[in-house]
Every structure is written in structure tokens, then in C-alpha cells.
């Protein structure tokens, strides 16, 4: 029997590791597919901007992981899936499966705002490096202006790293703008967190604009929804994600492209197809999973258990979201090696940055060869 996993991000990697922990190796062949050769630890991408980390520090070799887990790695993009024939097509390969896991994540969305797609992003490592190179080309001795669009978790982390970048270069005239369409910083979090971060950044000279969306961007010139305008040297867009191009073509039931799953994390009407991580729309008893690492991994482990249960003809496990849109939890870095942990609406600062770094280092060990 063969399990095929599309996408080797947090969710895809987790399902493979968990299946291997539950079943003898010879009872299930595993094929992992991804056009990237390195798994990207996205939570650390903003730190590329300040130079605290390099791409190789925050990414892991998928081939090494696959070898450690007795899986075959196919370094290609999946183009189509034939759900009736149970075959995945990736480049010139047609790979049959008994069980399929779709974990193809998301990509940035620009919400159709004219000119927004010319902004820099930090969603992928190569995009984060491109943004860092553009930053390095700016003359920090002049009155540099950078706009960060979106004051969600990523936007806030990017501002923290830009602050560090300019502080290190003693660029006193550099100005950072944080622009958010909703009425507060970190709109999905409680006011205690939002107000703390706003006060901290404003005290550091960041200009925060809330309740104003971006109407268009033209070569650094930003027009906001209230008609006000701003000229900048660089724009970094952090406003959210949409489903990957693959998800749109699969013809599975979806909500704005996110594939709808049942309580066992299976695509509706497809008994041997699981969808996990950002690619999935997971809503159970009215509770919606957040799109975050904790959910991606938790879903990976549940999908693994359910694949094993299908093989053993046991009842399937019901999924229970833990890091939800209504009760989000996160560790949010704020620059200067500071962070806050948000848990059950509370905000904890003690050891938060060190904890985030500890989690990152421990996670990436999975991608190091046993000899290293």
C-alpha cells in the first residue's frame, strides 16, 4: 500500500513522521512531493530582514527528512490528481496511491489591489531574501520610508525586524509605517495584546495607521481608502494568504479555494483523501481552525492516525481544533529579541523569544542527517 503526500511543509512533514511512528515501515510505502527542496520555517522569515538568521538556518533539507523516514522524495510540483483512478501527476511521473494527503498550503493574496503585487513579501524564503536585498540597497542615511501593509502577526513581526535593521545602522531618519484596514493592530487578537504592541511600536517611532485600507500602489506611492497618500521607498505586503493554484484545480468542495474536510479531515466524498494544514477548511461544530503551525501539525497527526485506522479497519478519530480563529494562540516576535506569548487571551512576555527560538531549533533537527 502507498501513501502519497502532496506538499512538504509543516502539515505534510508531520503526517509522514507520525505515520512512521505508528506503523512498521514495510506495511506502507510513502512518497513525498514538493517543488521545493527545502522545508521553510515561515515563522522565522521576518528575521531574514534584520539579518538575525540566514536562509539555511531556518529551512531544512526535505530529502534528508524523507530518507530518515523511509520515504521517496519527488522534487516536483503536482499538476493534477485523478481521484477516480487514484493517481497523482507530477511532471512526467504518474504516481498511484492508496491514501492521499493534500498539504499544499497557501500563497500570498493581494486582494486585487492595483499595484499591490509589485510589493515585497516574506511568505517564501526566496521572497524574504529578495526583500532583504532591496532593503540593503536603500541609502539609510537619507529619509528612508518603508510601509508595511497589514498589521497581523507577520506585519508586526516584520516591523520589529525593520526596527532592528535601522537601529543597528543608526539610521535615525528612517521611518516605518504600519498600515491596517481594521481598527487595531493584530486584529484577530485581544485588545490587551493589540494595545501593548501599538504602544511599544509607537514609542519606537513607528507610525501606525489603522482603519484605512490600501486602494492602490504605484512605484512606492500608496493611496489609502480615505484618499490620503504616502510616498515610500519600499512596500512590504503581509496581508494574508489564498489557496495554492493546485487546490483550485482539484474540483473538491471548497470555501474560497480552501478544501472542505469532514470531521476526520477527509475531503468531502473522498474516503482515502485527507486535506490538512493551510490548504484545508476545517470547521467542526462551528469552530474554525486557524491557519497556523500548531493546527497544521495537529491535523497532520490526526490524519496519520486515521490512515492507520483505515488500514486496520478501526473507527476514525474525530478532529478537534486547538488553535482556532476564535481563540488564537501564538508567539509573536517584536524585534530586539523580544516576543509575547498569547494563550487563552493572556499575554506572557517572560522567556517568549527564547521559547520561540527553542521550538525552531528543535523542529529543524528533523532535517539534519544522523551523521551531522
Ligand X SMILES: Cc1cc2nc3c(=O)[nH]c(=O)nc-3n(C[C@H](O)[C@H](O)[C@H](O)COP(=O)(O)OP(=O)(O)OC[C@H]3O[C@@H](n4cnc5c(N)ncnc54)[C@H](O)[C@@H]3O)c2cc1C
- In whole angstroms, give the CA distance from residue 100 to residue 94: 14
- The answer to the question of residue 321 lying near ligand X (CB under 6 A) is no
Nearer to ligand X, 138 or 246 (CB): 246
Whole-angstrom distance, CA of residue 19 vs CA of residue 54: 31
Nearer to ligand X, 312 or 320 (CB): 320
Q: Is 296 a binder of ligand X (CB under 6 A)?
A: yes
For residue 365 the three cell numbers come to 533537527
- Cβ proximity to ligand X: between 103 and 230 the closer is 103
Q: How big is the site for ligand X, counted in residues (CB under 6 A)?
A: 34
Under 8 Å CB-to-CB from 303, ≥6 apart: which residues? 15, 101, 265, 274, 276
Q: Which is nearer to ligand X, 115 or 277 (CB)?
A: 277
Q: Closest approach of Cβ 110 to ligand X, in Å?
A: 14
Residue 35 is a binding residue for ligand X (CB under 6 A): yes
Look up residue 329 and give its three cell numbers: 494562540
The answer to whether the CB of 329 falls within 8 A of the CB of 294 is yes
278 binds ligand X (CB under 6 A): yes
User: Can residue 66 be called a binding residue for ligand X (CB under 6 A)?
Assistant: no
Sole binder of ligand X in the list 57, 75, 77, 224 (CB under 6 A): 77
**Least separation in angstroms between CB 175 and ligand X:** 23
Residue nearest to ligand X (CB): 9
- Taken in order 120, 122, 125, 129, is the CA torsion positive or negative? positive
- Nearest in space to 236 (alpha carbons), one of 150, 107, 124: 150
Helix residue ranges per DSSP H, 9-138: 10-22, 46-50, 62-68, 125-137
Are 50 and 161 in contact by the 8 Å Cβ rule? The answer is: yes
Considering only the stretches 7-15, 193-201, 226-234, 302-310, report the one whose residues sit in contact with ligand X under the rule CB under 6 A: 7-15
99 near ligand X (CB under 6 A): no
User: Which of the ranges 37-45, 64-72, 164-172, 258-266 carries the binding residues for ligand X, by CB under 6 A?
Assistant: 37-45
Amino acid at each position: 500500500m502507498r501513501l502519497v503526500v502532496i506538499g512538504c511543509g509543516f502539515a505534510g512533514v508531520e503526517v509522514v513522521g507520525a505515520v512512521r511512528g505508528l506503523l512498521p515501515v514495510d506495511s506502507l510505502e510513502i512518497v513525498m512531493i514538493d517543488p521545493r527542496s527545502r522545508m521553510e520555517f515561515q515563522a522565522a522569515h521576518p528575521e531574514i530582514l534584520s539579518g538575525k538568521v540566514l536562509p539555511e538556518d531556518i529551512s531544512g533539507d526535505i530529502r534528508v527528512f524523507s530518507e530518515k523516514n523511509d520515504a521517496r522524495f519527488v522534487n516536483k510540483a503536482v499538476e493534477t490528481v485523478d481521484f477516480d483512478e487514484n493517481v497523482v501527476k507530477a511532471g512526467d511521473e504518474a504516481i498511484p496511491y492508496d491514501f492521499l494527503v493534500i498539504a499544499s498550503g497557501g500563497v500570498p493574496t493581494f486582494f486585487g489591489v492595483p499595484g499591490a503585487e509589485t510589493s515585497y513579501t516574506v511568505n517564501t524564503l526566496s521572497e524574504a531574501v529578495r526583500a532583504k536585498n532591496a532593503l540593503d540597497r536603500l541609502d539609510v542615511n537619507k529619509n528612508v520610508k518603508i510601509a508595511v501593509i497589514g498589521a497581523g502577526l507577520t506585519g508586526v513581526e516584520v516591523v520589529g525586524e525593520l526596527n532592528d535593521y535601522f537601529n543597528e545602522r543608526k539610521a535615525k531618519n528612517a521611518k516605518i509605517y504600519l498600515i491596517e484596514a481594521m481598527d487595531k493592530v493584530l486584529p484577530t487578537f485581544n485588545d490587551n495584546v493589540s494595545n501593548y504592541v501599538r504602544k511599544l511600536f509607537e514609542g519606537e517611532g513607528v507610525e501606525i495607521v489603522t482603519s484605512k485600507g490600501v486602494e492602490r500602489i504605484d512605484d512606492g506611492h500608496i493611496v489609502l481608502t480615505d484618499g490620503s497618500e504616502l510616498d515610500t521607498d519600499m512596500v512590504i505586503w503581509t496581508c494574508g494568504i489564498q489557496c495554492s493554484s493546485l487546490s483550485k484545480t482539484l474540483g473538491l468542495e471548497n470555501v474560497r479555494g480552501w478544501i472542505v474536510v469532514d470531521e476526520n479531515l477527509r475531503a468531502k466524498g473522498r474516503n482515502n483523501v485527507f486535506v490538512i494544514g493551510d490548504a484545508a477548511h476545517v470547521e467542526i461544530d462551528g469552530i474554525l481552525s486557524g491557519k497556523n503551525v500548531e493546527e497544521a501539525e495537529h491535523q497532520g497527526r490526526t490524519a496519520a492516525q486515521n490512515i492507520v485506522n483505515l488500514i486496520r479497519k478501526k473507527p476514525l478519530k474525530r478532529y478537534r481544533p486547538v488553535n482556532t480563529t476564535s481563540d488564537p494562540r501564538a508567539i509573536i516576535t517584536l524585534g530586539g529579541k523580544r516576543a509575547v506569548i498569547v494563550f487563552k487571551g493572556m499575554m506572557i512576555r517572560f522567556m517568549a523569544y527564547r521559547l520561540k527560538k527553542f521550538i525552531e531549533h528543535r523542529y529543524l533537527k528533523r532535517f539534519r542527517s544522523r551523521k551531522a
